[in-house]
Amino acid sequence: MRLEGKVAAVTGAANGIGKGIAFAMAREGASVAISDVDEAGARAAANEIAEETGVRTLGMKCDVTAATEIDAFVADAVQKLGRLDIMVANAGIAIGARAIDTTPEQWDQTMAINGRGVMLTDQAAARQMIAQGGGGSIIDLASIAALNGISPTLMAYCASKGAVAQLTKCFALDLAADRIRVNAIAPGLVDTDIWGKMFQAPGILDSGMREQMAQSVPLGRMAGPEDIARMAVFLSSDDSDYITGQIHVVDGGRTIGLPSGPARR
Ligand SMILES: NC(=O)c1ccc[n+]([C@@H]2O[C@H](COP(=O)([O-])OP(=O)(O)OC[C@H]3O[C@@H](n4cnc5c(N)ncnc54)[C@H](O)[C@@H]3O)[C@@H](O)[C@H]2O)c1
């Protein structure tokens, strides 16, 4: 098991990619601290992972926009699980709105969670890793939206993920001397609730677009959380100990171009 003896923490891990990452790290032997703004969901995910994998887990509320809550998350993880080796800044939202119609409130909310939340998470993790010594791995969830605009109806989201990509590189430079590696994962189209939350915005995305999205991926399908989790495990393990400050695209080929015909299944 590649993460035996390590302690990992994941924000926004009650659902979707974060939960998938927490599960994958637990299966590799890590103890896992899970937080989410949805406290019941975080506790349920922690219990499910403990039961299925046998590792020690912690589930608690943490709104990543609040520095005090992030600090409490790291402190509780260290107190209950012993140390902190891996932090995954995963919590994020996407609000569907045309660029021209995006309100200042939608922009601020997106930046608060996706931008400021990742900054605060990385800072809190880094402070703990520096204090305990021995290095660590921090992983930020960016998106292919950081590399090219994926939709005119996701302007604030695209901008926030661009911020994540750049702050990842700054943290990587700042923390390299402490042997703390900082990388970002840029997933393509992952089949999680984030899309359902956007579907609730009338006229922005509908279920027909789900099939279109799968067809737009050269490998012919949307990703599942487990596809992203495999990269997170690699970036947490010693197998990646010479890799820092990079944006790792996991997108089934989506950013290299569109398939020339219907993607083969
Ligand atoms: N699904 C995709 O296609 C996709 C693609 C690229 C990047 N991402 C990124 O991956 C990450 C996870 O997305 P997902 O698809 O699993 O979404 P999701 O909606 O399934 O899960 C996101 C989780 O974050 C939590 N959350 C929201 N606001 C929070 C806050 N203020 N504090 C703490 N937790 C909060 C939610 O409760 C939820 O459990 C996000 O950063 C997202 O932008 C997703």
Q: Which atom of ligand 1 is nearest to the CA of 145?
A: 6
C-alpha 51 to ligand 1 mean position (Å): 24
pLDDT of residue 106: 96
pLDDT of residue 197: 80
pLDDT of residue 196: 74
Task: Pick from 10, 21, 23, 36 the residue to mutate for probing ligand 1's pocket: most ligand atoms within 8 Å of its CB.
Answer: 36
Residue partners of 140: CB distance under 8 A and separation at least 6: 89, 118, 122, 164, 167, 168, 182, 183, 184, 185
For residues 155 and 147, give the distance between their C-alpha atoms in angstroms, rounded to a whole number: 13
pLDDT of residue 136: 98
C-alpha 216 to ligand 1 mean position (Å): 22
pLDDT of residue 151: 82
Could you confirm whether 157 is annotated as catalytic?
yes
pLDDT of residue 261: 63
User: Up-side HSE of residue 3: CA atoms within 13 Å toward CB?
Assistant: 31
pLDDT of residue 12: 98
Protein residue whose Cα sits closest to atom 18 of ligand 1: 194
Q: Which atom of ligand 1 is nearest to the CA of 17?
A: 16
C-alpha 146 to ligand 1 mean position (Å): 15
* Among 73, 157, 171, 195, the one annotated catalytic: 157
C-alpha 199 to ligand 1 mean position (Å): 15
Please give the domain boundaries of the chain with CATH numbers for all domains. 7-250 (3.40.50.720)
Our measurement of the distance from residue 2's CA atom to the centroid of its chain's CA atoms, rounded to an integer in Å, reads 20
pLDDT of residue 257: 86
Q: Which atom of ligand 1 is nearest to the CA of 195?
A: 1
pLDDT of residue 166: 98
pLDDT of residue 260: 75
C-alpha 13 to ligand 1 mean position (Å): 8
User: Up-side HSE of residue 58: CA atoms within 13 Å toward CB?
Assistant: 26
Q: Which atom of ligand 1 is nearest to the CA of 63?
A: 32
pLDDT per residue, tens digit, the chain (265 aa), is 999 999 999 999 999 999 999 999 999 999 999 999 999 999 999 999 999 999 999 999 999 999 999 999 999 999 999 999 999 999 999 998 999 999 999 999 999 999 999 999 999 999 999 999 999 999 999 999 999 867 888 999 999 999 999 999 999 999 999 999 999 999 999 999 888 787 565 555 566 777 888 899 999 999 999 999 999 999 999 999 999 999 999 999 999 988 876 555 5
Pocket of ligand 1 (CB under 6 A): 11-12, 14-18, 36-38, 62-65, 90-94, 113, 117, 141, 143, 187, 189-190, 192-194, 197
Place of tokens 């927490």: 22
Q: Which atom of ligand 1 is nearest to the CA of 189?
A: 3
Our measurement of the distance from residue 94's CA atom to the centroid of its chain's CA atoms, rounded to an integer in Å, reads 13
Q: How far separated are the first and last CA of the chain, in Å rounded?
A: 32
pLDDT of residue 206: 63
Protein residue whose Cα sits closest to atom 17 of ligand 1: 194
Protein residue whose Cα sits closest to atom 25 of ligand 1: 12
